[in-house]
Structure 1
Amino acid sequence: MQFIANGGQINVKPSNQLFSALQTLFDHFNKALFDDRLPVVMLLVQREGGGVMGHYVEDRWMNGQGEKAGEISLNPAFVAKSRLIEVCQTLVHEMCHHWQECFGKPSRKCYHNKEWARKMIEVGLMPSTTGEPGGAITGQTMSDYPIEGGPFHVAYHALLQDKGDHIPWVDRMAIDRLYHPTVVAANDIIEEDHPGAKELAQYHETLLTTEYSPPPEVAALEVRFNDSQIMSELIEDFLPLPVAAKSKTRYRYICEGCDLKIYGKLGISVQCNECERDFILSDQ
């Protein structure tokens, strides 16, 4: 990537670079994890509220010939403060939704059911409501973590052999992720009897008897592309990356009679049971 500083022109086409990179990621994991069976989707970047790093919508797009395509979108507000492995996790997470829409039976909107969870485990990502071992594998809001030596982890290491710009552009107004990536050994999941342990044994029995180590040919590359390095560190240090302030979601209210304090969303109307007076919004 080349920049001309001091108000000059950028001599590349950012949109072409970014969306070509996203398509390359999709194609790589489609071939490695889904036998190249997933139909094409529209890949987008779109800001989302509520701490969501990605989403999938079925048949959202259509061309003049009546052909339809689903949509997978990544939230650019999170990408710069995320690790490359996290971006890939999010993409594959949404690709599992796409697989379920095409070949399975999705449940209600935004709910992650057992069929989806089993597919995630099959491709080497353990779903978790907490983003860590021990979280439930089904639910409305889900994160996940890679299973060491599983298909996703192996496919991710294969990706590292390509020294190109996997995410060539990032949003400078980045915010921190809610979860931090962790890779967990299959034996640890089984021994602790975490949710999904039975499914893990079903799909990845060989992982329970072998120790995994990255292929030797990517060892040097992991100095640059390692699981602890965020995307903004992989891109030329042209300008500092400011961290956007987190939006305020809780406000303090004080009872006018006894000074009891409570917290809640903006605009609530609450009365104190002790002195029967209203709570008022506090600026402190």
Structure 2
Amino acid sequence: MTTLRPTQETYAELQHAYDSFNAELFGGELPECLITLQRERLTYGYFSAERFSNREGRRTDEIAMNPVYFAVVPLVEIMQTLAHEMTHLWQFHHGTPGRGRYHNEEWADKLESIGLMPSSTGQPGGRRTGDRMSDYPIAGGLFLDTCDKLLTQDFRLSWYDRFPTYPALLAGQQSYSLTMDLPENVATVAANTGVDMATDIATALSEGISAYPLTSKKRDKTKYTCPCGVNVWGKPKLRIICGNCGDPFLASICAEEE
């Protein structure tokens, strides 16, 4: 048996997921793109239209995936990120993207049509549109059905970052998919791979070699974000209402430079 080199293995797995989603969720409408790994802070992934060009003058889009999350959030959520960014790619080629980072109604409708519910909080009750958007799987929807076919014992993301950031670990613990009754393959693959990765990460952290330690010498403060994308920082346990949209701010922990 030939062992693939890490670069080949990683990108072959991501390409396989892209091809599966393109066929099952987008009817094969999407062109090829260049998938990259980027450690963009507090971002699961992003889409950049026509970011790359070759020497023959061809252009291609970029979908970036953040490997910091690969080991600490459920695999189905990594696949959500890929499908989320593929929806941006679909809209660039077949629709009308919103200005800047804005996720408009057309994008939200398309995402919902493939079985992911757009949500500013990543959970039920969030806004469907905005600058910073997440999503969650729709029970019985097309996305989970496709994942159930894809996430068998033959599919995995073999390589992962052993030194996840604190926000990534927190995101994994708060994942909405953990509260759902997921299809059998989706749940089984996540359980089987998650134990081994968690043990490996815990060992790395205990050896004190993490590039992203769980404890910080910085002074912690709390970041508050409202569904319309406004951020404020302050002391823990504040209760703040946004003057723009009238919704409460949601808290997340960040670190303040000394």
Question: Which of 195, 198, 203 in structure 2 is aligned with 1:233?
Answer: 195
By how many angstroms is 1:238 displaced?
Answer: 6.0
- Residues 213-263 of structure 1 show CA distances to partners (whole Å, capped at 9, x for unaligned) of 84xxxx4x456314xx485436596673537336757569xxxxxxxxx95
**Corresponding residue for 1:128?**
119
Query: Over aligned residues, Cα RMSD in angstroms?
Result: 3.3
Match of 1:168 in 2: 158
1:182 matches 2:174: no
In terms of fraction of residues, the more helix-rich structure is: 2
The one of 109, 112, 117 aligned to 1:118:
109
The 8 Å contact of residues 41 and 70 in structure 1, kept in 2 or not, is answered as: yes
Larger radius of gyration: 1
Q: How many residues align?
A: 215
Preserved contact between residue 148 and residue 184 of structure 1 (Cα < 8 Å): no
Structure 1 Cα separation of the partners of residues 221 and 179 of structure 2: 38
**1:160 offset after TM fit, Å?**
2.4
Q: Unaligned regions of 5+ residues in structure 1, if any? A: 3-10, 186-211, 253-261, 265-280
CA contact (8 A) 1:86 1:181 kept: no
- Unmatched tracts of structure 2, length 5 or more: 223-232, 236-255
The equivalent position to 2:32 in structure 1, one of 19, 40, 43, is: 40
Q: Residue 149 of structure 1 contacts residue 213 of structure 1 at CA under 8 Å; is this kept in 2?
A: no
How far off is 1:181 after superposition? 3.0
DSSP-derived class of the 1:182 partner:
helix
Give the fraction of aligned pairs with identical amino acids, expressed as a percent. 34
Q: Among residues 58, 76, 91, which one is paired with 1:85 in the alignment?
A: 76
Match of 2:46 among 43, 51, 55: 55
Query: In the alignment, which of 20, 39, 42 is matched to residue 28 of structure 1?
Result: 20
Amino acid at match of 1:245: P
Q: Secondary structure at the match of 1:158?
A: helix
8 Å Cα contact 1:224/1:234 also seen in 2: no
- Which of 3, 6, 11 aligns to 1:14? It is 6
Could you tell me the TM-score, scaled by structure 2's length? 0.73
- Aligned counterpart, 2:226: none
Distance 1:29 1:222 in 2: 15
Cα distance change on mapping 1:223 and 1:115 into 2, 3 Å: closer
